[in-house]
A and B are shown apart, each in its own frame.
Chain A
Amino acid sequence: MELQLNRNRPLIMHIDLNSCFATCTQQAFVHLRGKPLVMVAYDTPNGCVLSPSIEAKRFGVKTGMTLREARLLCPSVISRMTDTVMVRDVHIKFKKIFKDYSPNVSPKSIDEAVIDFSDMEKVLKNRSLTDIGNEIKRRMRAEIGEWISCSIGISTNRFLAKQAAGLKKPDGLEIITHENLRQVMDKLTLIDLNGINIKFQARLNIHGIHTPLQFLDAPMDKLKKQVFQSIVGYYWYKRLRGWEVDDMDFKRKSIGQDYALSKKTADPQELSKILMKLSEKMGRRLRRHNLTARGIHVAMIYDDWTYWHRARQTDRDMFATMELYRAAQLIFNQQPESKVVSKLSVSCYDLEPCGNSQMSLFDAPSDKIRKVSEAMDKINDKYGEFVVTPALMMGMEDTVIDRIAFGAVKELEDLYSTQ
């Protein structure tokens, strides 16, 4: 049986801060306002553009370009590194505003959040969501800063609300309902749909689907059995019709850190130091959540764009930085050949609450290592990150600096836990 379009009142609001990192920087530094600005990972010609300002976007500057490419498009572009503490502060402030309207606020990333107004109709008292959206915009300007702008999308599910938020940038407020869904879809391409990348687009094209309208009109059986050949097809069938399928909360399965090397190297000593710092950052997060890990994974992207990774389960739980580092170093040493590394990642998985693990009869020294780690954490909590570090991390102050991960809802949980 064919599923109808969702004709319910649109009660999902998606809010997206425009050019978040750049806008926050322009809010703080008045003289950067109205100028083409790019926030970069490294302030070097090969540094990656993380966030261009609205003014830089007008010159065609996009996220992912190198600073050199951005300067070719816009010679007067100003480059800055992100003030991560300030951006996180903006996130906390806007989340606080959203919480005034509904208890169901789900941050999607550092610059995006969804407010769910379902079951809130009594509180809304016939107030339209457009009215609330405009009020949120006003409050963000008044309470965070006058340069802060956001795009708001309203619809019946998360997917269409996000799609609506992307219709008009910057500073838009758009609604997608069953009445205008077809008109909106008619103006988009498949790649404009959130979650459809070039691979999915090719897959849809193979089955004769070339436009979002054709995607919307495709029968469920075709999407499920032919195009996606899985339940994913059914989810898309529902999603496009405005029914909710993305209201899911995933349990944390791993904790990881990665680092794109500013100076690529094949030197095992140098790489071991980076591995140590990544293990320390990962260990801090693991211990903050009071978890232990039973598995470790190390991955490397080399300068020639080849990739090597390996995971290993350990026979006992890891908790201390030294335990994580030792396991990671063992995997690192198994690399088939020593090549120039451009990106190094380490993560731990099979997470268990601390205390559930069985103590080893024969390995008492591990208890000492854990106590040392806990003592170091206490000192670092009191006096600041990396005040006390393992000796291997000496001289690493400017390496693996603090970053804000793209997406990464779990990172936001770390942020709230430290507030």
Chain B
Amino acid sequence: MNEVINEKVSVELIYNRMTGEVMPRRMRWQGRLYIMKKLGYYHKARQGRTILHIFHVTDGNTDFRLSLDTENLHWTLNEITDGTTT
């Protein structure tokens, strides 16, 4: 199942100065807390001059595509997938 969401979410981000790792650790969406276990891929994207930081993360059950808008520092959950066809 793959679903486009595009909803604002609350996100807690961690930065490890030793490894340089940056990763959204916890996300609250629709009243539920998701604890992220792994970063799949990170890249930047541009919307005009605004830079978006795109994080593909997983909590072990569902994969999330999260974006951080550097213009206003707001987080958006773009899409979710659990790797099934239905």
Contact = CB atoms under 8 A, between A and B. Distances in A.
B51 to A, nearest CB: 12
Interface in A113-165: 145
Interface-centre pick from A27, A35, A78 (highest chain B CB count, 10 A): A78
Contact of B41 (A27, A381, A382): A27
A405 interface: no
A395 interface: no
Give the secondary structure class of B's interface.
strand
A78 B85 CA distance: 5
B63 A384 contact: no
Contact of A78 (B38, B56, B58, B83): B83
Contacts of A387: 48
Interface string A371-415: 000000000111111010000000000000000000000000000
Nearest to B78: A83
A206 to B, nearest CB: 48
B28 to A, nearest CB: 21
Nearest to B61: A31
Contacts of B83: 29-32, 35, 78
A218 interface: no
Give the secondary structure class of A's interface.
helix
A235 to B, nearest CB: 39
Given A28-B56, A29-B81, A85 B45 contact: yes
A86 B48 contact: no
Contact of B43 (A35, A78, A80, A85): A85
Given A76-B85, A78-B83, A80-B2, A28 B48 contact: no
A89 interface: yes
B20 to A, nearest CB: 12
A80 to B, nearest CB: 7
B6 interface: no
Given A30-B38, A31-B82, A382 B48 contact: yes
Nearest to B38: A30
B40 A145 contact: yes
B72 interface: no
Nearest to A79: B85
Contacts of B54: 85-86
B62 A86 contact: no
Given A76-B85, A78-B85, A382-B49, A31 B63 contact: yes
B60 to A, nearest CB: 9
A215 B54 CA distance: 50
A230 B81 CA distance: 54
Interface in B13-65: 38, 40-41, 43-50, 54, 56, 58, 62-63, 65
B48 A384 contact: yes
Given A86-B54, A384-B47, A387-B48, A32 B41 contact: no
B48 A31 contact: no
Interface-centre pick from A28, A380, A382, A385 (highest chain B CB count, 10 A): A28
20 contacts: A24-B41, A27-B40, A27-B41, A28-B56, A28-B65, A29-B40, A31-B58, A31-B63, A31-B82, A32-B81, A76-B85, A77-B85, A78-B2, A85-B54, A90-B43, A145-B40, A381-B49, A383-B49, A384-B46, A387-B48
Interface of A: 24, 27-32, 35, 76-78, 80, 85-86, 89-90, 145, 380-385, 387
- What are the nearest 6 A-B pairs in CB distance? A31-B83, A28-B56, A89-B43, A384-B48, A28-B41, A383-B48
